[in-house]
Structure 1
Amino acid sequence: MSHPLLTLTKEQKLHFEKEGYVIVKGLFSEQNLAEIDETFEEISRQTVPGYFEPDLHADGSDPLKRYPRVMHPHRFNETAKKYMLHQPVLEVLADLYEEEALAAQSMFYYKPPGSRGQALHQDNFYLQVEPGNCIAAWTAIDAADEENGGLLVVPKTNTLEIACPDVADAKESFTTHYVKPPKDEKAMPIIMERGDVLFFNGNLIHGSYRNKSKDRYRRAFICHYANESATHISNHYRPLYRQNGALVNLEINSNGGPCGDEFQNVYPH
């Protein structure tokens, strides 16, 4: 029996099921976005061991040394946690999952001008949500397009199995894994306005190009979620949270995945 939709139209839900992703507008007010701006501007000037470790005196040769991504900000910042559990986002996820979503991870990317991108990859390779899948909610804090390194997706690859990745080109990607799309499929840019949210399936192949702009950041607040009926997830994403903030401890997924156990401790996401 299908659940009544809270937020999405039937067309939006169908697009997610067929293509592996859907863009939803209007989930964040300008006031919400301003609060996110302010919070991560403040975080960018400090060091949080284990979560955000910038080189505050970097020479600028690699912009990501000064502005690396922030991992799991919800674990040390209440505003990040609040927006990871943002009700409008969780209502969309409930439509996509047809059950409650559990929040597993938050991240923030500054992606200053000149930053490398991220090679094509699949999220559930890392999260290992079973049974079911992870879904990402990728919120554009700045408008994102081809020039400033917006997201790329390979449509319809949500139906593929999780693949063991190849090695990425370190000159273009700050992460080491690369998943080659099927030969008939091409990565396409997703053009987003500030505040748009891209939801995509954990098997969908996606990534980003480098930021080729002179003066535009491409900030993004990105969270990953699991379906409530999941029983296992990779240890790095525990504990999970319900919308009301209650903790949920899924079992640790000790399955080596498609590469076997040598990839068990990778955590680039």
Structure 2
Amino acid sequence: MAENTLLPAPADPATLRDRYAREGVVQVEALLSAAEAEEIRAAFMDQVDTDRTAVGAVHEVDGDDVLRRYPRFMNPHRRADLAIGRIARTLMTDPRIIGAVSTLVGPVHGAQSMFYFKPPSARGQAFHQDNFFLRAHPETCVAAWIAIDDCDASNGALRIVPGSHTMEIVCPEEADPEESFTSGLVNVPEGMAPVQTVMRAGDVLFFHGSAVHGSLPNTTADRFRRSLVFHYVPRSSVEVASYYLPLVAADGTEVEVAAATGGGPCGDGWEGAAH
């Protein structure tokens, strides 16, 4: 598995778009400052220590799994009554982030926010494709994955398969529960290889909704791998899974589009909304 092979994003928009079109992923260094990352980190740690159930997906894991203590927070941007909600809502439409996404794919709306704590010993997440869940149509979603801690292979930084964005959304197989807290697995396409990212707090990874990505467990004894993630869909999207509605426009107003219905790559029983 290659490491550190994702080059820093080029400065000029045309080259940035070209690399994204070719690889489906670009890494932008220091898009947020270390001080901003620390502010985000402190706010989310305070929330999980105060009330982890407010926006936490606490029923994703069983028993004494460490992720019950540190569940991923789902759509905090919808909670204006919480400090983390105000932070998430502001950053979702921050010109640095939404501007970078718009450079890559044109004007977009915000669709989702998530925060991962990934404490020491936590399992990773098997390879998957984000638009399997969002079901944006006719385009696809784009992720903005913000590193809140320095991260590498040892604490379970993201792995991604450059070029895999050209494949269709596929029906997942069963993941190894010893390695992944989620159950679905998308295999790495033949002839492609995953890249292990190495990021500093404040770096942002932007990637295509069909790009295969995931992470291995955090094997450290004392390093969290916290990340704040936003998903965006092009303004040309005419539908998205209902879980992600309403969307958020760049000016902060809410936008409704049709809720995606019917089957998907896994048939009529496919449930794509429960990310």
1:90 to 74, 98, 105: 98
Distance 2:139 2:272 in 1: 21
- Matched with 1:238 is 245
Tell me how far 1:183 sits from its aligned partner.
2.3
Task: Please identify runs of 4+ aligned residues in structure 1 that moved more than 4 A.
Answer: none
- Matched with 1:264 is 271
For structure 1, the 5+ residue unaligned runs are 1-6
Tell me how far 1:265 sits from its aligned partner.
5.4
Amino acid at match of 1:142: D
Tell me how far 1:32 sits from its aligned partner.
2.2
1:79 to 87, 93, 112: 87
Select between 12-21 and 153-162 the one with higher mean Cα deviation: 12-21
Select between 112-121 and 174-183 the one with higher mean Cα deviation: 174-183
Tell me how far 1:208 sits from its aligned partner.
0.3
Distance 2:229 2:272 in 1: 21
* Structure 2 residue 164 is the aligned partner of structure 1 residue 157: yes
SS in 2 for 1:38: helix
Alpha carbons of 1:50 and 1:266: their partners in 2 closer, same or farther (altered >3 Å)?
farther
For structure 2, the 5+ residue unaligned runs are 1-10, 80-84
Tell me how far 1:79 sits from its aligned partner.
1.4
Distance 2:86 2:29 in 1: 24
CA RMSD of aligned residues (A): 1.8
1:29 to 29, 33, 41: 33
SS in 2 for 1:36: helix
1:46-71 residue CA offsets vs partner (Å, 9 max, x unmatched): 3364721559xx99x52212101111
- Matched with 1:203 is 210
Tell me how far 1:41 sits from its aligned partner.
1.4
Aligned length: 258
Query: Does the 8 Å contact 2:146/2:229 carry over to 1?
Result: yes
Equivalent runs, 1:147-186 vs 2, <5 Å: 147-186=154-193
Distance 1:157 1:207 in 2: 13
Query: Does the 8 Å contact 2:242/2:273 carry over to 1?
Result: no
Tell me how far 1:36 sits from its aligned partner.
0.8
Alpha carbons of 1:130 and 1:50: their partners in 2 closer, same or farther (altered >3 Å)?
farther
